[in-house]
Structures are given as structure tokens and as C-alpha cells.
Amino acid sequence: MKSDPASARAGRPRDPHIDASVLRATLAVLDDIGYGRLTLEEVARRADTTKPAIYRRWRTRQHLVLDALASRLGGAEAPDTGCTLCDLNEGINVFVAAFRRIPPGVLAPLFADCSAVPELRDAFMRTLFDPPRAAVARMLDNAQARGDLRGDIDRDLALDMLGSLVHYRVLFGHAPITADDVQHAVEALLGGIAADYPALVAHSQDVMSGDHLHP
């Protein structure tokens, strides 16, 4: 998802080849030297273009980096197998794997740069955090429609509880996120909001053919 459909400046028609080259160059710079040392001059050099050409497409360095990261993360799909425990476990692991493709030490300083400017903060959230949150929301909605969740759950709170594990550890990098961490977080949440948690566990064990998730 692009950071802002209006982030490019008006002017002559954009050459999509230049756009793609600049995004690739931006990712290469992030991988090589990180966000703090990224300059538009270096991106332009690697993309074989000019700094003015970049500014015609992206208003700020932050908009450029957000679009580059979005191109690496790809879309946020919501699994829908009919197994609530399986779907949440798989879906969140997919998001974790996507965020691992962002070089360490990029998200925290990027967020610090964006947080003081409302437009940039909104672009950061819209680009990097809203898509996976919406996908998890769809999984919870599907589960509730199947009758797997209680009717009185606070969906936003459930989303925050699941998302906080990924967001907090990705932003601050104080601990890794393992598949076991995701599994335990999903189990802990569903243990509190499922209509019949033991039935969900039994169903997941049947679906996964012996790969056990703990009740």
C-alpha cells in the first residue's frame, strides 16, 4: 500500500521504470547503511536518476522510504480456512515474516521522524500498520460469524493485544518474535474470547493432522 496517493508532485507523466528503480535503490540503501544515513543523493546515484526527479515523485524522504518498505511488505491477506486458531496463527506469522524483511533499526527512527508531523504519522500508520491490522480484523470477523468467538468481545482491544506483540518487538527490537511466541499469544487471546476454546483447539488439531496447539 502506498503511503499517500497524492504524495507525488504534479508535473509531466511519471515513468514507471524510474519509480521502480528508485524504490529498489531505496531498499538497497536501507539494507546497506540503514535509515539514518540514507540520502536522496545516494538513492539517485544508485537509481541512475536525479534528486529533482525523486522530488517530483515523493515530497519527502519519509514518503519515499514508506513507499519502498510497502513494496517489500506486499499485501496483507487474511487466511480463511474455517479454523480460527489456525488462521490467526498463520496470518500473524505471515505478518511477522513480512516485517522481518525490513532491515533492523529502520522502523524506530522512521517512526520518530514521522511522529511529530500528523500527515507523516498518518502515512506511517496507513502504510505499515493498518493493512495487517485490517487483515487480522477480517479473521476475527470471520471467526465471529462462524460462532467461534463470544458475541460481546471488544474487537479493537483484541486487535491491539495481538498486534502489540509484533509492533512492540519490531519497533524496539528488544526481543525476537518466534513462531512459539505467536502461537502462545493467539492461544492466550482465544482462551479469553472464544465461545468454546477446547472445541477450537480440537478442531485445529484435526486440521493440522497432529501438529498440536496447547489448550
Name residue 212's amino acid.
Answer: H
Per the DSSP assignment, residues forming a β-bridge with 149 are 194
For 154-201, how does the pLDDT look when each residue is reduced to its tens digit (9 = 90+)?
Answer: 999 999 999 888 888 887 878 889 999 999 999 999 999 999 999 999
C-alpha span between 101 and 95 (Å, rounded): 10
Alpha helices for 13-83 (secondary structure H): 16-33, 40-47, 51-57, 61-73
Domains of the chain: 16-70 (1.10.10.60), 74-207 (1.10.357.10)
Report whether pLDDT(211) > 90: no
Higher pLDDT, 157 or 9: 157
Report whether pLDDT(6) > 60: no
Task: Classify residue 53 by burial, with Cβ atoms within 10 Å: 0-12, 13-18, 19+.
Answer: middle
pLDDT at res. 104: 83
Task: Compute the CA torsion angle 170, 175, 179, 181 (nearest 10 deg).
Answer: -100
pLDDT-derived band at 8 (thresholds 50, 70, 90) equals very low
Alpha helices for 126-154 (secondary structure H): 130-145
Task: List C-alpha distances in Å: 7 to 56, 108, 116.
Answer: 9, 22, 18
For 119-167, how does the pLDDT look when each residue is reduced to its tens digit (9 = 90+)?
Answer: 999 999 999 989 989 999 999 999 999 999 999 999 999 999 998 888 8
pLDDT at res. 3: 61
pLDDT at res. 98: 86
The kind and range of the H/E element at 89 are helix 84-100
pLDDT at res. 97: 86
Name residue 15's amino acid.
Answer: D
Report whether pLDDT(213) > 70: no
